[in-house]
Amino acid sequence: MQGRRVAVTGIGLVTPLGCGTEQVFDRLIKGESGIRRITRFDIEGYDSQIAGEVRDFDPEPYVPRKEQRRLDLFSIYGLAAAAMAVEDAGLEVERIDRSRAGVLIGSGVGGLKSLQDQHQVLLSRGPQRVSPFVIPQIITNIISGHVAIRYGLTGPNFCVVSACATGAHSVGEAARIISHGEADLMIAGGTEAPVCEVGLAGFAAMKALSTRNDEPERASRPFDAERDGFVIAEGAAVLVLEEMEAARKRGARIYCELAGYGRNCDAYHITAPLESGEGAARSMRLALEDAGITPEEVDYINAHGTSTKLNDRGETLAIKAALGEEKARRVMISSTKSMTGHLLGAAGALEAAVCAMTILRGVVHPTVNYEYPDPECDLDYVPNEAREAKVRVCLSNSLGFGGHNATLCLRAI
C-alpha cells in the first residue's frame, strides 16, 4: 500500500464448512467438502440440486430472535461474522476512537430471498400485506449500516457491489481508506445468502452451475478437465483491518499485512472473462506493484478457481502472464471453492482470510477433486492433499460478472 501499513487482526467466518476461523481452516486442510444436496426447499425440477449451505449455525448469540425476523439471511450471516471478527481481534470497541473506525461489507445480490418472498406476498395477498421491512431487508448496503450501529462506528461506511469480486473489493477499498489516513480501523468483508429458488434457477438458466447432483462433494472441481460449472454457496467472511502501528501499540495479534491491492475491468463481456486472461493478469500486476513485491517473491495464489471452463482456463493464462511462465509453474495455487462452493460476494473476503491463515499456519490447502488434468490448466494446483510450506507472500484473485477483477496481496510480517 502506498501510505500507512495495514494489519489483519481479526477474522470471522460463517461458511458451508462451519463457523469460526480455526474450524474452517482445519477442514480445508483435510480436504473436506461442505457441498451437499439442497435441503432448504423442494429441488425437484431444478437442473442443479446442490449447494454449499450453511448448516448447524445458531444465529441467537449474534442476532436476537426478534431482530432475526426483520433481517434477510445475508445480514444475519454478516452480523455474525463481524461479531466473530471483532472478538477474534480482541477489540474493545469502547476504547477506540469510533469516529476513526468504519465498516465496508458488501454483497453481490443482497436480500434475494426476502425479495422473492415479498414478491409472492404482493401477488397473492396484495400490496397492503407487503412487509414494511422489505426494502431494508434487500438493499446491499444495509449490512454495513447494521454493523456500524451495533458498534457505534461513525467513520467511513458504505458497500461495494461487484458480483463475485465484491468481497475482495471491500477488503481492498477498506485497506486503502486506512492507508490513506482516512480511518485507523475498518471492519470489512462480504456476505451472501443466494441459496433460494430464484437464485438457483437464475444461475442454472445461465448454464453456469454444476449438475453433478449425485456426487455433491465431487461437483466443484476447479482446473479439472471434467469440471462442468460452479456450485452456488452462502455465508460470510469479515476481517478487522487496522493501521499497523496502532495494532502493535494495543498489543493485537497480527495475522499478516495487507500489503497490496489491484483492481481493473476486462471491458469485454457481461459474464465471460477475457479469454486471454489479460485483465486478471493486470490486476495481479497492480497488486504486486502496490505492495512493492516482485513476481519471484510470490509463494502462493488463492485462485478465483470457480470450476467453470472459461474461468479456470483464463485464470491459468493470467497467472502465466502476470508472473512469467517459469515462475507460474513453480508457484502453489489452490481453490477454496473446490470445498466451499462459490460464496459469490463473500468469496473474495473468505479467500483473503484463508490466505492470512495460510501465512500464519504454514500450510496450503489443496484443490480437491483434481482427477483429470486439463492440458489448458497445467500449473501446480496443489491437488487433493495439503502441503506444508513457508508462505510469506500470497495473492488472492476475485473475478466478477461484468468484467470486475480484484487482487489482494498479503504478506507475512
Identify whether 339 is part of a domain: yes
**How are beta strands 363-364 and 157-158 bridged, if at all?**
unpaired
Identify whether 1 is part of a domain: no
- Tell whether 149 and 264 lie within a shared domain: no
- pLDDT at position 402 is 97
pLDDT in tens, 192-214: 999 999 999 999 999 999 999 99
**Residue 393 lies in domain:** 260-411
- Tell whether 80 and 219 lie within a shared domain: yes
- Tell whether 287 and 147 lie within a shared domain: no
- Tell whether 197 and 332 lie within a shared domain: no
Which residues contact residue 67 at a Cβ distance below 8 angstroms, ignoring those fewer than 6 apart?
A: none
pLDDT in tens, 248-293: 999 999 999 999 999 999 999 999 999 999 999 999 999 999 999 9
Residue ending a domain, choose from 249, 274, 304:
249
The Cα–Cα gap between 154 and 279 comes to 36
Q: Which residues are catalytic?
A: 164, 304, 342
C-alpha of 238 from chain center = 9
Average pLDDT (363-371) is 98
- Tell whether 218 and 99 lie within a shared domain: yes
Identify whether 133 is part of a domain: yes
Residue ending a domain, choose from 214, 249, 284:
249
Going by C-alpha positions, the residue among 38, 341, 57, 401 that lies closest to residue 195 is: 38
How many separate domains does the chain show?
Answer: 2
Identify whether 300 is part of a domain: yes
pLDDT in tens, 138-187: 999 999 999 999 999 999 999 999 999 999 999 999 999 999 999 999 99
- Tell whether 140 and 164 lie within a shared domain: yes
Average pLDDT (95-110) is 98
Give the model's confidence band at 2: pLDDT under 50 very low, under 70 low, under 90 confident, else very high. confident
- Tell whether 135 and 160 lie within a shared domain: yes
Identify whether 325 is part of a domain: yes
- Tell whether 343 and 231 lie within a shared domain: no
Mean per-residue pLDDT over the chain, rounded: 98
- Tell whether 350 and 215 lie within a shared domain: no
Give the model's confidence band at 62: pLDDT under 50 very low, under 70 low, under 90 confident, else very high. very high
pLDDT in tens, 207-233: 999 999 999 999 999 999 999 999 999
- Tell whether 330 and 233 lie within a shared domain: no
Dig out the grid coordinates for 282 from the structure: 493486470
Average pLDDT (316-326) is 98
- pLDDT at position 1 is 85
Phi, psi (5° rounding) for residue 207? 60, 35
Going by C-alpha positions, the residue among 267, 288, 270 that lies closest to residue 278 is: 267
- Tell whether 224 and 289 lie within a shared domain: no
Dig out the grid coordinates for 117 from the structure: 418472498
Residue ending a domain, choose from 249, 282, 299:
249
Other beta carbons less than 10 A from residue 152's beta carbon = 12
- Tell whether 107 and 239 lie within a shared domain: yes
Phi, psi (5° rounding) for residue 212? -80, 65
Identify whether 254 is part of a domain: no
- Read off the CATH number of the domain in which 382 is found: 3.40.47.10
Identify whether 255 is part of a domain: no
Phi, psi (5° rounding) for residue 391? -115, 120
C-alpha of 249 from chain center = 29
Other beta carbons less than 10 A from residue 256's beta carbon = 24
The Cα–Cα gap between 187 and 86 comes to 8
C-alpha of 122 from chain center = 33
Going by C-alpha positions, the residue among 282, 349, 409 that lies closest to residue 108 is: 349
Identify whether 365 is part of a domain: yes
